[in-house]
Structure 1
């Protein structure tokens, strides 16, 4: 299985592609897609760059599934909104290219890769390097993206095993029943 990890950001979106062969993880590619208001691009143009960049990565590496980081709410609401829009452009590109998308929080990512939910960026880079047997450390955004792909590889194996024993049924949240929401 080939997994694409996406670490969304308006200025720098990281991507990482790995192949999974049973318990073995193999590095395929990683990098960043960057946008900057200094280049004269307004927000819609920057979102277009992200959308087209993700579409190009999907076309080039042909992943079967994608994993994307869930946006957290930080102190600056404006930054959170901008990050959410960048994430939306990335998710839209993945869905338009017919990829199933799994989503993980930063805490889940760090616990799965480093074993500690408050791990630093440097610790993430070192563990990704070790897990994928890379000759050098990947950049911070690329390391997070590769970490998301690694997280999905681990989680999907566990989820498949659980579903073989006891399949889960989907729940409908915020659905209306007899005119009332529950």
Structure 2
């Protein structure tokens, strides 16, 4: 049995999702968003690091799967996204978790069946796969999709 922490990193909103894999069954544990509404960028990174540490300490995941940073049109946005991802990775490493990264296209392919799936399609597929009564918000659904991808690629 494995507990997977999926992360959709962002400097303002970082989505997280936790699932348990027991043989071929995926079980939803928890999901949500870490929102950093302050202007001080280094302090945002500290908040992300701290909240991820709290989540790891509470739920005791075995693996951390993160959506890979992609180069956007705005290089400053891509850099901030990289910093947020790094805060997550450092927190996970400090808790001795294995780190895995998946591209957006790979996540969409594994969860949505097509590498160019729309966000709402991914949200619906996450709801169906995890037998949720409601569609999770976009950032939490993206993080859960990362965890689902990891469960289907790495863990047997």
User: In the alignment, which residue of structure 1 is the partner of 2:25?
Assistant: 24
**What CA deviation, in whole Å up to 9, does each residue of 1:129-153 have, x standing for no partner?**
0000001000101001101111000
Q: Distance in 1 between matches of 2:3 and 2:84?
A: 24
User: In the alignment, which residue of structure 2 is the partner of 1:106?
Assistant: 104
Q: CA deviation at 1:51?
A: 0.2
Return 5+ residue gaps in structure 1 as ranges: 161-182
Instruction: Say which SS state the counterpart of residue 115 (structure 2) adopts.
Output: coil
Q: CA deviation at 1:36?
A: 1.8
Pairs within 5 Å for 1:26-175: 26-37=27-38, 41-157=39-155
Larger radius of gyration: 1
Return 5+ residue gaps in structure 2 as ranges: none
User: In the alignment, which residue of structure 2 is the partner of 1:169?
Assistant: none
Q: Distance in 2 between matches of 1:101 and 1:74?
A: 23
Q: Distance in 2 between matches of 1:96 and 1:121?
A: 32
Q: CA deviation at 1:20?
A: 0.4
Q: CA deviation at 1:13?
A: 0.2
Over 4 Å off, 4+ runs = none
- TM-score by structure 1 length? 0.83
Q: Distance in 2 between matches of 1:71 and 1:45?
A: 20
Coordinate RMSD, CA, aligned? 0.9
